[in-house]
Chain A
């Protein structure tokens, strides 16, 4: 990564305008041809410095529901409960965290009312209370790391 790569990573995280030639302004700001912006962007994606470039969609606004849930799995049943939770296709992510609430997972459903049913089923199967923490307000999503 040279200085131009760093500037490109920093600029592209902010968001580009929706217009016919969105890379022109970036090329001008970095004082390189558009072709070079594109080839550098392709290389940053190929090298996995960037994971994606394009529209960032908001799942809830697409009609689906997302909720962050936590439960307190007893140590001796942790793996069994993790397996049971992971078996739900609606569970997108699941992390073990160092807290009394030691299992944190995201329930994603196409329709909002399905999330509650999944949560109740996990409670019944695991015997653990699920703490449902849907977002009430979003202040920011996305990284804006300076490199």
Chain B
């Protein structure tokens, strides 16, 4: 897949549009699932829905990619991963899909995307956020990515954050 970012049209191709009940489920679970042995039964009860219906809707949203996975999000600072750098790579277009998958699979890479170049200032088309327990750790891991990319990579940089200027969560309205 190359070219334009996902659009509404693309969303319509990848799955059914969400109805009011789907949106109700999304709004109710944005902060998390109930921590009980049968969380979907608890969710269904809370929303006045049938458990089987809630399960089917969540499975359908996962199948079409609206839900990436049902998982825990770690606080990387609490786990000792205090340093992170945005590594950016100029990778040959012919290899980027395959190599992007390999870089994204590394356990210390949290976000991995192909993005457009802006020549001449910005020749980089692969972005990988690298986490480590120190600046040295990050540098070692960046070197490992450089090794993995090999000759398909014509240059890279690592941008460290100096300051958070703004950080607000993304929220969907009900």
Which residues of A are at the interface with B, using a C-beta cutoff of 8 A? 9, 12-24, 34-35, 38, 41-42, 44-45, 47-68, 70, 82, 85-86, 91-101, 103-105, 108, 110-112, 131-147
Which of the residues A12, A60, A96, A145 comes within 8 Å of B79, measured between beta carbons? A145
Given contacts A18-B40, A110-B173, A146-B107, 19 further A-B contacts (CB under 8 A): A12-B71, A14-B71, A51-B75, A52-B32, A55-B58, A55-B61, A59-B170, A60-B6, A67-B5, A70-B122, A91-B166, A95-B165, A97-B86, A99-B159, A133-B115, A133-B118, A135-B114, A137-B114, A139-B113
The main secondary structure of chain A at its interface with chain B is: mixed
- Counting chain B residues whose Cβ lies within 8 A of the other chain, the interface size class is 35 or more
Task: Give the distance to chain B from A92, nearest Cβ to Cβ, in Å.
Answer: 6
Are A96 and B163 in contact, with the CB atoms below 8 A? yes
CB distance from B42 to the nearest CB of A (A): 11
Q: How far is the CB of A115 from chain B (nearest CB, A)?
A: 9
Assuming the A-B contacts A20-B38, A23-B37, A92-B168, are A51 and B1 also in contact, with contact meaning beta carbons closer than 8 angstroms in the complex? no
Residues of B within 8 A of A (CB): 1-8, 11, 14-15, 18, 26, 29-33, 35-41, 51, 55, 58-59, 61-62, 64-76, 78-81, 86, 96-97, 100-101, 103-105, 107-116, 118, 121-122, 127, 131, 157, 159-170, 172-173
Residues of chain B with a CB closer than 8 A to A67's CB = 5
Pick the residue among A35, A52, A134 that contacts B72 (CB under 8 A).
A52
CA distance A38 to B6 in the complex (A): 36
Q: Which of B36, B64, B67, B114 contacts A57 (CB 8 A)?
A: B67
Q: What CA separation (Å) do A63 and B55 show in the bound complex?
A: 22
What CA separation (Å) do A42 and B36 show in the bound complex? 10
State the majority secondary structure of interface residues on B: mixed
CA–CA, A47 and B75, complex, Å: 10
Given A9-B79, A97-B160, A137-B1, are A105 and B166 also a contact pair (CB < 8 Å)?
Answer: yes
Q: Are A101 and B114 in contact (CB under 8 A)?
A: no
> Is A97 a contact of B38 with CB atoms below 8 Å?
no
Q: How far is the CB of B169 from chain A (nearest CB, A)?
A: 8
Whether B165 pairs with A82 at a CB distance below 8 angstroms is yes
A134 & B33 in contact (Cβ 8 Å cutoff): no
A98 touches B75 (CB 8 A): no
Question: Quick one: which of B68, B122, B165 contacts A94, CB cutoff 8 A?
Answer: B165
Residues of B within 8 A of A103 (CB): 165
Known: A61-B11, A96-B165. A101 touches B69 (CB 8 A): no
B113 (CB) vs chain A CBs: closest residue: A135
Pair B8/A111 contact, Cβ less than 8 Å: yes
Q: Given B72, B73, B168, which contacts A93 in the complex, CB threshold below 8 Å?
A: B168
